[in-house]
Structure formats: structure tokens, C-alpha cells
């Protein structure tokens, strides 16, 4: 049986034999099902709060229905964020010319650059226009920045990719 990739272990799915352990999850959100095989895709599962446990029949109750199995959300692997490169307009929405940008090669501590964003330039190659971001005299395409670098977000206090977060429905 193949489980949804967010499920760490089959033993995280609570059964009628786990009601004592399940008491700690009352009031928490999770995924309900009547068959273990349905945990192959959490997007298709009933997502609700565990409201009570019952020793007779289906032990796990959501808002109004009893179920055979419950998987607490807190037992799952976190959802990995997905990103794509900035569009030209999105980049200029987050960065301003004349201001410094602290950035580095991805996952390389040390060797950080703190350069002024000077603007951009365009070059025509046959029928294709390529835009370059000018950071301290160095030229990067948005794809190069996304693929190889990350910038420091002072407000969040963390390193971020040169891109925007996407969900599975993003059409770009």
C-alpha cells in the first residue's frame, strides 16, 4: 500500500486499538477514513477536528460522523513550499533600485554579497529579449538568481529564494 508522501509512518494512523493514545488528539485537526488504503492521498480525505472517541463501533468522531481511522495533522511531515522565478514585475515589487540587496549562493554560509540594486538592462538576441538585473555591476537573469542564489529578508530574518511561492494550481 502506498501512503501519501506527507505520512511519516503507517503507525501514525490511529485505529480502534489506539483509542488510549488518541485521547491526546481530541480537539485537534486531522484526516479521517474508513479504509487504510484511502490514506494514499490526503487531498481526498475528510479533514476535520477529532471531537470524541467511542468504544462502540467506529471510534473516531469528527463534527458529525464516526470513522474507523484518524490521522492527526500534527503527525504529518510539513508541506514543502514550492517556488518559481520572479516575473520582471514581481521582482520590482519586492526590490527597489538604489537599495542594497544581501544575497549569496544557495545554502552557502559566509561568502555573502551586499550590493546595490542598480537597475536592469535588456539585450536582444535574435528574436529574444533577455532582461538582466544589475546588482553592484554584476548581471543576472531572473532564472539565474532563482536557480543559484537566495536573498536575506530582513523583515522575516531568514534567507529566501529569488522567486515567489506557488501552489499546485499555479499555471505558470
Q: Indicate if 115 and 65 belong to the same structural domain.
A: no
Determine contact, residues 67/30, Cβ cutoff 8 Å: no
What digits encode the pLDDT tens for the residues 40-90? 999 889 999 999 998 878 999 998 899 999 999 999 998 888 999 999 999
Q: Indicate if 59 and 88 belong to the same structural domain.
A: no
- Report the pLDDT value the prediction gives residue 37, as an integer from 0 to 100: 92
Q: Residue 4 domain-assigned? A: no
The structural domain count of the chain equals: 2
Whether 172 has a pLDDT exceeding 70, the answer reads no
Q: Indicate the pTM of the whole model.
A: 0.59
> Which domain does 62 fall in, by range?
10-75
What digits encode the pLDDT tens for the residues 100-110? 999 999 977 78
Q: Please report, for residues 42, 46, 75, 159, the alpha-carbon distance to residue 6 in angstroms, rounded to integers and kept in the order given.
A: 8, 16, 9, 24
DSSP output for the chain: -PPPTTB--GGGSB-GGGHHHHGGGTT-EEEEESSGGGGG-GGGSEEEE--EE-SSSS-EE-SS-EESEEEEGGGBPPPPPEEEEPPHHHHHHH--TTSEEEEEETT--S--EEEEEEEEEEEEETTEEEEEEEETTEEE-HHHHHHHEEEEETTTTEEEESEEEE-TT---
Compute the average pLDDT of residues 3-25.
Answer: 93
What digits encode the pLDDT tens for the residues 119-159? 999 998 888 889 999 999 999 999 999 999 999 999 889 99
Q: Indicate if 90 and 47 belong to the same structural domain.
A: no
Q: Residue 5 domain-assigned? A: no
Q: Residue 2 domain-assigned? A: no
Amino acid at each position: 500500500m502506498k501512503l501519501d508522501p506527507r505520512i511519516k509512518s503507517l503507525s501514525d494512523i490511529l485505529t480502534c486499538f489506539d483509542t488510549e493514545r488518541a485521547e491526546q488528539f481530541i480537539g485537534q485537526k486531522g484526516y479521517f477514513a474508513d479504509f487504510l488504503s484511502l490514506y494514499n492521498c490526503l487531498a481526498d480525505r475528510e479533514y476535520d477536528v477529532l471531537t470524541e472517541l467511542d468504544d462502540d463501533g467506529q471510534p473516531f468522531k469528527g463534527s458529525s460522523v464516526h470513522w474507523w481511522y484518524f490521522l492527526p495533522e500534527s503527525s504529518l511531515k510539513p508541506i514543502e513550499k514550492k517556488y518559481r522565478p520572479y516575473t520582471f514585475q514581481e521582482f520590482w515589487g519586492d526590490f527597489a533600485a538604489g537599495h542594497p540587496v544581501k544575497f549569496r549562493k544557495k545554502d552557502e554560509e559566509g561568502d555573502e554579497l551586499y550590493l546595490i540594486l542598480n537597475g536592469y538592462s535588456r539585450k536582444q538576441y535574435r528574436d529574444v529579449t533577455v532582461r538582466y538585473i544589475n546588482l553592484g555591476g554584476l548581471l543576472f537573469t531572473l532564472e539565474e538568481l532563482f536557480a543559484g542564489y537566495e536573498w536575506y529578508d530582513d523583515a522575516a530574518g531568514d534567507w529566501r529564494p529569488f522567486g515567489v511561492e506557488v501552489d499546485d494550481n499555479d499555471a505558470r
